[in-house]
Amino acid sequence: MSAFYIILTASLFAISCGLLGSFLILRKMAMVGDAISHAVLPGIVIAFLLTGTRDSFEMILGAALLGIFSTFLIEYFHNKARLQTDAAIGVTFTWLFALGVILISVFAGQVDLDQECVLYGEIAYVPIDLWITDSGAIMGPRALYIAALTLVVNVLFLRIGFKQLYLTTFDPSFAATVGISVSLWNYLLMGAVSMTTVSAFDSVGAILVVALLVAPPATAYLLTEKFSHMLIITCIIAVVISIAGYFLAVWLDGSIAGAIVTVAGILFAITYLFAPNTGLITKRLASA
Amino acid sequence: METLKEFFSFQDPSIIAVTVGAILLSSSSAVVGTFTFLKKKALVGDAVAHSVLPGICLAFILSGTKNPIYLIIGAFVTGWLSLVIIDHISKKSKLKEDTAIALILSVFFGIGILMLTNIQHSGNAAQTGLDSFLFGKAAALVGNDLIVFGIVAVVLIATVIFFFKELKLMAFDQDYAEAIGLPVKGLELLLTSLTVLAVVTGIQAVGVVLMAAMLITPAAAARFWTNDTRVMTLLAAILGGFSGLSGAFVSYAAPAMPTGPWIVMIISAIALISFFVAPKRGIISRGMEQRKLQRMIMDENLLKELFHLGEKDHDLYKGRSIEEIIEERYFPEKTLRKSLNRLRRQGFLTKTNGDWRYTEAGKMKGQRVVKLHRLWELYLSEKMKIAPDHVHEDAETIEHIITPELEERLEKMFDRRATDPHDEQIPY
């Protein structure tokens, strides 16, 4: 049963990340996603200090604000100080991450967080951490509920804002002429990325969220030209890597999150080499 | 204060070791980072930093020891491999560079984590401390490790000094470097190797995640103070070294504090301050420059409109009320009042009974703007063959920028022609 819980939780998070990541990589903002996943750390710590729990609405809010703030900082340095984008990203996220780590050490006694957990989480604890209602009924793993809720919120967000996100991604100047605020939807998307990162960080760690954001959509992108197909393939890959990753981790006795990412990497490599039409080796064979 | 004195008296030999180590590591990565920054490849350092983890684990699994030489070789191999793959993906597939970087760094890191946890669970006692690569251990660098990493840092700095001219050319104009016969491929290889080496050593100080800051942040800060690559590199090294020193001090004064994040915090604070206060490039200085320009344009436009009003009633020196000016051309009233008062202080306008009128100097200035506007319209329509009804907008901007030299040439070009394309008088 616990294997099932772990795989289900991982799949739900991977689908959330993959859907958002599809937009990120097409907007050439994959590294901004990377930056956000690091930059939310101080928000998590501060929210933890204020509320004393790990999974609260405040924590998600705190992190979402930090994520949007870091997006704003990156653009501010780029526009106002004319700092090149790559450097603006690099400076911003490392600064906020360092702040987060320092906060953790300052309040070491009060914060039940450590650096390992931030980096690669521990999804193996999912089945142990149960949600027990006030009346004592055991409702199942808490992380599972969080993962499901995150997915629902993300799907709703993408469903409602699909047209706007689609247009601002593929044709920002057209979007602007028909009255869609490009920067508003950019910030909304980044807010969703931050929220997802925070919900997932307990299980997969803030850093490995990046792999879930990027690897499945990048693989899907190589397989299709159509955006709707890309989203569907991304979801399938998300489930496949969660299942395969779990069993790889059991076999090697290692981190489950690390194993999921490893499988995602292998899947990408296979696609990169053998995808129909675009694969490196496929192309070579076709021309030979 | 007491602690500060104690720290700098260097009575404890281990303090010297840690301090020297932190300074060397930070400044050598800052020097190399300057060039990745200038090549706009700053995030590549981040990718390498994450990608060395599987190499380190692999080296440990194969050799069974934590000998720094083996670990450096392992780290070097995977760090280098990651750059080759990123380059390949972003050049040969439809995926963009940012996706390639994010993909490779997270996948390599994930593989590294899988290997690391596997090693940790294997019960091999020799593995303890391997995770210091994840989070850095600047304060605990002693003995052999310190000597090895110190040497690498010195080699890095020396190589950059030796190849300075070539690297600089590469960073700014690769095509030119190739044209004059520099071995561009070889130099690219050199810079890549330097980056990987810098990361491998720097990680010891600050850990995987914050390594990017050691490469990017000192260079970004230094860039705001100078346009000279030589000065920038030196400044980046000094700022990096200073933050290393401060980090070592913090870990001495408060042993519970993590050294790496403090080094990054200090260098980031320096960078943030630089972004704001640096002369010329800083945000404040840019903002002030922009305001000055906006005020100048507002003042000149106001003087110009007064001239237009004067032309209409053939009395340039007549007093005008604020309402009259706004009727001629809309200005927000607050901005208008500020501008009027500013011009009075500068001696271009006088105010009597709430009416504003030109002084001699004010009339000359207003007349010049009108003249430049109309001369430019003339130039656009006659020399550039642009329809007369399309020239106003452009002239509206350029009238504030035209230099006295250009003014003279325009006057000569049209031989002080009397009217512009709209048959309005050009006042000389």
- pLDDT, tens digit, 9 for 90 and up, residues B290-313: 999 999 999 999 999 999 998 888
- Specify the range with the lowest mean pLDDT, choosing from A71-75, A111-115, A279-283, B323-327: A111-115
**pLDDT value of position A117:** 64
Model pLDDT for residues A9-66, shown as the tens digit of each residue: 899 999 999 999 999 999 988 888 888 888 888 888 888 888 777 666 777 788 888 8
DSSP conformation class of A131 = E
pLDDT of B1 over the 70 cut: no
The CA distance from B31 to B261, in Å, is 20
User: CB distance B109–A261 less than 8 Å?
Assistant: yes
Model pLDDT for residues B214-243, shown as the tens digit of each residue: 999 999 999 999 999 999 999 999 999 999
Token duo for residue B312: 């209409």
Its CATH class, for the domain covering B2-278, is mainly alpha
Token duo for residue A211: 């792999």
Say whether A141 sits in a helix, a strand or coil.
strand
Which residues of A are less than 8 Å from B282 in CB distance? Answer: 81
- Interface probe for B, chosen from A99, A118, A197, A214 (most Cβ of B below 10 Å), is A214
User: CB distance B111–A261 less than 8 Å?
Assistant: yes
SS (H, E, C) A63-85: HHHHHHHHHHHHHHHHHHCCCCH
pLDDT of B9 over the 80 cut: no
- Count the alpha carbons within 13 Å of A17 in the hemisphere toward its beta carbon: 36
- Interface probe for A, chosen from B81, B103, B243, B272 (most Cβ of A below 10 Å), is B103
**pLDDT value of position A119:** 63
Burial of A163 (0-12, 13-18, 19+ CB in 10 A): exposed
- Specify the range with the lowest mean pLDDT, choosing from A19-23, A201-205, B151-155, B261-265: A201-205
User: CB distance B262–A98 less than 8 Å?
Assistant: yes
Which residues of B are less than 8 Å from A221 in CB distance? Answer: 94-95
Taking the CA of residue B3 and the nearest CA in chain A, the distance in Å comes to 19
Residue, of A6 and A218, whose pLDDT is higher: A218
Model pLDDT for residues A121-153, shown as the tens digit of each residue: 666 667 767 776 667 666 677 778 888 888 999
The CA distance from B424 to B300, in Å, is 19
DSSP conformation class of B425 = B
Q: By CA distance, what is B106's nearest residue in A?
A: A211
Give the count of Cβ contacts less than 8 A between chain A and B.
213
The CA-atom distances, in angstroms, between B203 and each of A79, A211, B195 are 31, 21, 12
- The mean pLDDT value for A57-81 works out to 85
Taking the CA of residue A109 and the nearest CA in chain B, the distance in Å comes to 12
**pLDDT value of position A115:** 62
Which residues of A are less than 8 Å from B98 in CB distance? Answer: 25, 28-31
pLDDT of A104 over the 90 cut: no
User: CB distance A95–B264 less than 8 Å?
Assistant: yes
Q: What is the dihedral of CA B216, B250, B131, A126, to 10 degrees?
A: -90
Of B46, B216, B275, the CB nearest to A81: B275
The CA distance from A237 to A224, in Å, is 14
- Interface probe for B, chosen from A74, A101, A106, A250 (most Cβ of B below 10 Å), is A101
The CA distance from B111 to B168, in Å, is 35
User: CB distance A119–B107 less than 8 Å?
Assistant: no
Judge whether A47 and A57 are in contact, CB under 8 Å.
Answer: no
The CA distance from B326 to A105, in Å, is 61
pLDDT of B256 over the 80 cut: no
- Specify the range with the lowest mean pLDDT, choosing from A263-267, B7-11, B72-76, B351-355: B7-11
**pLDDT value of position B267:** 94
Q: By CA distance, what is B276's nearest residue in A?
A: A81
Q: Could you state, in order of their start, the residue ranges of all structural domains in chain A?
A: 2-287
Model pLDDT for residues B115-140, shown as the tens digit of each residue: 988 888 877 766 667 777 777 766 56
**pLDDT value of position B274:** 94
Of A81, A252, A258, the CB nearest to B283: A81
Taking the CA of residue A215 and the nearest CA in chain B, the distance in Å comes to 6
Which residues of A are less than 8 Å from B262 in CB distance? Answer: 98, 102
User: CB distance A28–B98 less than 8 Å?
Assistant: yes
Q: By CA distance, what is A34's nearest residue in B?
A: B102
Give the position of tokens 């080499």: A273
**pLDDT value of position B67:** 78
Which residues of A are less than 8 Å from B213 in CB distance? Answer: 90-91, 94-95, 98
Q: By CA distance, what is A28's nearest residue in B?
A: B98
Which residues of A are less than 8 Å from B99 in CB distance? Answer: 25, 28, 30, 214, 218
Of A31, A105, A262, the CB nearest to B110: A262
Judge whether B43 and B215 are in contact, CB under 8 Å.
Answer: no
| Global ipTM | 0.90
- Specify the range with the lowest mean pLDDT, choosing from A62-66, A129-133, B47-51, B191-195: A129-133
- Residue B417's pLDDT band, with cuts at 50, 70 and 90, is confident
- Residue B24's pLDDT band, with cuts at 50, 70 and 90, is confident
- The mean pLDDT value for B377-391 works out to 88
Of A89, A208, A278, the CB nearest to B106: A208
DSSP conformation class of B355 = E
The rounded percent of chain A whose pLDDT value lies above 90 is 35
User: CB distance A90–B94 less than 8 Å?
Assistant: no
Of B103, B106, B262, the CB nearest to A102: B262
User: CB distance A214–B102 less than 8 Å?
Assistant: yes
Model pLDDT for residues A219-254, shown as the tens digit of each residue: 999 999 899 999 999 999 999 999 999 999 999 888
User: CB distance A253–B118 less than 8 Å?
Assistant: yes
Model pLDDT for residues B315-348, shown as the tens digit of each residue: 888 888 888 888 888 999 899 999 999 999 999 9
Which residues of B are less than 8 Å from A81 in CB distance? Answer: 224, 275-276, 281-283, 286
- Interface probe for B, chosen from A22, A26, A28, A34 (most Cβ of B below 10 Å), is A34
* Cβ neighbours for B159, distance < 8 A, ≥ 6 positions apart: B190, B194
User: CB distance A214–B99 less than 8 Å?
Assistant: yes
User: CB distance B220–A222 less than 8 Å?
Assistant: no
The mean predicted confidence, pLDDT, of chain B is 87
Taking the CA of residue A273 and the nearest CA in chain B, the distance in Å comes to 11
The CA-atom distances, in angstroms, between B177 and each of B4, B167, B173, B228, B260 are 48, 9, 6, 18, 37
Which superfamily does CATH assign the domain made up of A2-287 to? ABC transporter involved in vitamin B12 uptake, BtuC (1.10.3470.10)
Which residues of B are less than 8 Å from A82 in CB distance? Answer: 281, 286
Q: Could you state, in order of their start, the residue ranges of all structural domains in chain B?
A: 2-278, 282-428
CATH architecture for residues B282-428: Orthogonal Bundle (1.10)
User: CB distance B98–A105 less than 8 Å?
Assistant: no
User: CB distance B256–A101 less than 8 Å?
Assistant: no
* Cβ neighbours for B354, distance < 8 A, ≥ 6 positions apart: B321, B322
Model pLDDT for residues A197-216, shown as the tens digit of each residue: 888 877 777 667 889 999 99
Taking the CA of residue A74 and the nearest CA in chain B, the distance in Å comes to 12
Of B93, B216, B260, the CB nearest to A91: B216
**pLDDT value of position B143:** 67
